[in-house]
Amino acid sequence: MRMNHGFNHHVAIIIAWLVFPTLTIAQSVENKTGVADIVIMDAKIWRGVDGPYANSLAIVGDRIAAMGDEPTIRKWIGPKTKVIDAKRRRLIPGITDSHAHVIGGGLQLARLKLRSVSNREEFIAAVQAKAKDTKPGAWVLGGRWSVDSWSSPESPSRYWLDPVTGDTPVLLSRMDGHSALVNSAALRIAGIDENGPPDPTGGEIVRDPKTNQPTGILKESAMGLVRKHIPETTAEDKYQALLRAVKHANAHGITSVHDMSNVGDDEAFERAYREGTLSLRITSYIQADDVFKYLDFASSSEANQPFYRVAGFKKYMDGSLGSRTAYMHEPFADANHDSTYPQGQLTAFAANKKLFTQTVEAVYAKGLQLAVHAIGDQSNHLLLDEYERVAGRHGYEKIRHRIEHAQHLLPSDIACFAKLGVVASMQPLHKADDGRYAEIAIGKERLTGSYAFRKLLESGALLCFGSDWPVVSLNPFLGIDAAVNSRTLEGKVWLPSHALTVEEALRAYTVTPQIVVGRDKELGTIEVGKLADLVILGRDLLTIKPTKIPDTKVAYTIVAGKVVFESE
Q: What is the pTM of this model?
A: 0.87
d(CA 421, CA 417): 6
- Percent helix, strand and coil across the chain, each rounded to 5? 30, 25, 45
**pLDDT at 392 exceeding the cut of 80:** no
| Residues 298-344 pLDDT 10s | 988 765 578 999 999 999 999 999 889 999 999 999 988 888 899 99
Q: Specify the pairing of strand 308-316 against strand 281-287.
A: parallel
Report whether 40 contacts 539 (CB < 8 A).
no
Q: What is the pLDDT of residue 51?
A: 87
Distances (CA, A) of 104 to 255, 297, 523: 18, 22, 26
8-state DSSP, 419: H
CA-based torsion, 270, 315, 202, 321: positive or negative: negative
Of residues 200 and 17, which shows the higher confidence score? 200
Query: How many percent of the chain have pLDDT more than 90?
Result: 78
Domains of the chain: 1-93+525-568 (2.30.40.10), 102-227 (3.10.310.70), 317-523 (3.20.20.140)
Taking the chain, what is the end-to-end CA distance rounded to the nearest angstrom? 56
Longest dimension (CA), the chain: 81
184-191 mean pLDDT: 94
| Residues 249-286 pLDDT 10s | 999 999 999 999 999 999 999 999 999 999 999 999 99
| Residues 448-507 pLDDT 10s | 999 999 999 999 999 999 999 999 999 999 999 999 999 998 899 999 999 999 999 999
Paired with 181 in beta bridges are 172, 217
Q: What is the pLDDT of residue 543?
A: 96
SS3 371: strand
Distances (CA, A) of 559 to 61, 62, 78, 89, 365: 11, 8, 21, 18, 34
Q: What is the pLDDT of residue 3?
A: 39
Q: What angle do CA 365, 367, 371 make, to 5 degrees?
A: 100
Q: Kindly report the length of the chain.
A: 568
H/E segment holding residue 45: strand 44-45
Closest CA relative to residue 44, chosen from 512, 535, 484: 535
H/E segment holding residue 511: helix 502-516
Of residues 30 and 139, which shows the higher confidence score? 139
The amino acid sitting at 552 is: T
Q: No. of H helices and E strands in the chain?
A: 18, 24
Q: Specify the pairing of strand 203-207 against strand 214-220.
A: antiparallel
Report whether 267 contacts 242 (CB < 8 A).
no
**pLDDT at 537 exceeding the cut of 60:** yes
User: How many Cβ atoms sit within 10 Å of the Cβ of residue 84?
Assistant: 23
Q: What is the pLDDT of residue 12?
A: 33
Q: How far is CA 322 from the centre of its chain?
A: 17
Q: What is the pLDDT of residue 20?
A: 27
Report whether 248 contacts 105 (CB < 8 A).
yes
8-state DSSP, 486: -
**pLDDT at 17 exceeding the cut of 60:** no
Comparing 305-314, 388-397, 549-558, the range with the smallest average pLDDT is 388-397
Paired with 565 in beta bridges are 557
**pLDDT at 121 exceeding the cut of 70:** yes
H/E segment holding residue 558: strand 554-559
Closest CA relative to residue 88, chosen from 413, 561, 487, 542: 542
d(CA 211, CA 246): 47
SS3 65: strand
**pLDDT at 223 exceeding the cut of 80:** yes
Rg (CA), the chain: 24
Paired with 14 in beta bridges are none
Report whether 469 contacts 432 (CB < 8 A).
no
Q: What is the pLDDT of residue 27?
A: 61
HEC string of 303-325 equals CCCCCEEEEEEEEECECCCCCCC
The DSSP line for 512-540 is HHHHHTT-TTTSSS--TTSB--EEEESS-
Report whether 67 contacts 57 (CB < 8 A).
yes
**pLDDT at 440 exceeding the cut of 80:** yes
Q: What is the pLDDT of residue 143?
A: 87
Extended beta strands in 103-157, E state: 112-113, 140-145
Q: What is the pLDDT of residue 261?
A: 95
d(CA 136, CA 538): 46
Report whether 376 contacts 322 (CB < 8 A).
no
